[in-house]
Amino acid sequence: MESVSTTSHIADASLAASGGRRVNWAERFMPVLRQIRERFAAERPLEGLRVSACLHVTTETANLMRALKAGGAEVLLCASNPLSTQDDVAAWLVEELGIAVHAVRGEDNDTYYRHIQAALAHRPTITMDDGADLVGALHMIALDRLDDLAPPVREWIAGLDADARSDIVSSILGSTEETTTGIIRLRAMAADGVLQFPVMAVNDSLTKHLFDNRYGTGQSTLDGVIRATNILLAGSTVVVAGYGWCGRGVAFRARGAGAKVIVTEIDPVVALEATMDGFPVMPMEQAAPVGDLFLTLTGNTSVVREEHFRAMKDGAIVANSGHFDVEIDVARLAEVAEGPPVEVRPMVDEYRIDGRRIEILAQGRLINLAAAEGHPAAVMDMSFANQALAAEFLLAERDSLTNQVHRVPAEIDREIARLKLAAMEIGMDVLTPEQEHYLASWDLGT
Ligand code: ADE
């Protein structure tokens, strides 16, 4: 039964036991985060911190919440996507950890923003974002741009006096951001001189984007497509839009599964790299008639548009793995399609256009989190180790950090890699004194 209280809003508290078993399963693959949690429990470095996190509510996120709580933080979690919430995990966090959770799988837009409002009403000192929704709302409040807030948040803010409004923003020490998409937005805010507090770019850590974007998105995107459709990748033509770290991960894994992979790109250097990696590169217009499966991972809007749908083969499958549901122009497809879509399988909406069928997966939302479980725990281990240590760093360095987007310090990044290697029982070589001397010298080249 749906459970609504002032502190939490989740689908069904009775799912807690199954959620707990799955959270503990994920934890087996998160040795770095576990070590951080154990240190946090001993040292309590986050004592007094109020954290509002807007993240995908998954087994991996539950382990991050556990670590933050062990460190002494008072935590609230809300969903960063209406379709990615795992209701049993939400139940476990509320029932077993006593953490406030506002997330219901499949929630409508209004509920999504009520949950964001709850995260702001928690009066956080640190926010954690996956796509900058919390920071975005905080800035609309700070800049008095109430018209740009979603209606539930706007109505709530309108009912507060000026002091209460400014308290919400002034109590923030800083924020952390998980995604490439969020960082792009935040850098634009910093460049405009409007960023109100320091932000830690967790995404920019090497132990985050080189692993989670490439291996996590690479595997889980295909996992989502396969769970939704049960198609065979071998022998099919897969069009990957965008050859950033996520696109590269998907392209290599699709090729490994036997697909013919085509890449579309807008950056000449990156397009050249894809070419030299052995992928045909062409405009979407040219790829549209040959692809069986289209995957968008660009971070941009309207990548697959009406003219592309009209050129596609009968039965072409189109899915998005970029953060926002803007990469496939589903709204336009719905306008020009013959009749409403038919849900031919869960997560598969079939549209008809020019007499041909186009299959849109997960309504154009993040396929890996909507139809599968997102990145495997073994990569989220490093991403969330960065989140936990970035929160600790923000608190410790609050007086020296400027209102800019900051990278997690390189020593922290390297320490996470060291801990991960140690957990995997992989040893490395150590420089000999002679090698150290050689590297530090400029006159020993011969
Ligand atoms: N983003 C991508 N995969 C995720 C996961 N498993 N948990 C939380 N956030 C994610």
The full set of domain ranges for the chain reads 3-207+375-423, 217-370
Q: How far is the CA of 285 from the centre of ligand 1 (A)?
A: 32
* pLDDT category of residue 442 using cuts at 50, 70 and 90: confident
Q: What is the pLDDT of residue 4?
A: 47
Q: Which helix (H) or strand (E) holds 239?
A: strand 237-241
Residue 34 above 70 pLDDT? yes
Residues within 6 Å of ligand 1 by CB? 55-56, 58, 60-61, 216, 369, 373-375, 380
Mean pLDDT, all residues of the chain: 96
pLDDT tier, 1 (very low <50, low <70, confident <90, very high otherwise): very low
Question: Ligand 1: distance of its center to the CA of 375 in Å?
Answer: 5
Which residue would you say has higher pLDDT here, 181 or 138? 138
The architecture that CATH gives domain 3-207+375-423 is 3-Layer(aba) Sandwich (3.40)
| pLDDT for the residue numbered 6 | 55
Neighbours of 107 (CB within 10 A): 21
Q: Which atom of ligand 1 is nearest to the CA of 60?
A: 7
Q: How far is the CA of 138 from the centre of ligand 1 (A)?
A: 23
What letter does residue 6 receive in the DSSP assignment? S
Cβ proximity of 296 and 316 under 8 Å? no
Banded pLDDT at 400 (limits 50, 70, 90): very high
Q: Hey, which of 30, 33, 58 would you mutate to test ligand 1's pocket, going by the most ligand atoms within 8 Å of its Cβ? A: 58
Interval between CA 355 and ligand 1 midpoint (Å): 38
Which of 420, 351, 338, 344 has the alpha carbon at shortest distance from 379? 420
- Bridge partners of 237, per DSSP, are 260
CATH of domain 217-370: 3.40.50.720
For the packed helices 377-396 and 31-43, what is the interaxial angle rounded to 10 degrees?
30
4 alpha carbon – ligand 1 mean position (Å): 25
For residue 328, the SS3 value is strand
CA separation (Å) from 96 to 21, 145, 323?
Answer: 12, 39, 30
Looking from the CA of residue 57, the nearest atom of ligand 1 is 8
pLDDT of residue 124: 97
For helices 410-423 and 377-396, angle between their N-to-C axes, nearest 10 degrees = 140
Bridge partners (DSSP) of residue 54 are: 78, 129
Residue 2 has pLDDT above 70, yes or no: no
Instruction: Note whether 376 and 29 are within 8 A (CB).
Output: yes
Q: Strand, helix or coil at 183?
A: helix
Helix (H) or strand (E) holding 3: strand 3-4
Q: Report pLDDT digits (tens) over 248-280.
A: 999 999 999 999 999 999 999 999 999 999 999
Name the residue at shortest CA distance from atom 9 of ligand 1.
56
**pLDDT tens digits along 41-66:** 999 999 999 999 999 999 999 999 99
One-letter amino acid at 275 equals T
| Residue 76 CB-half CA count within 13 A | 22
CA of 204 to the centre of ligand 1 (A): 16
Residue whose C-alpha is closest to residue 366's, from 353, 375, 355: 375
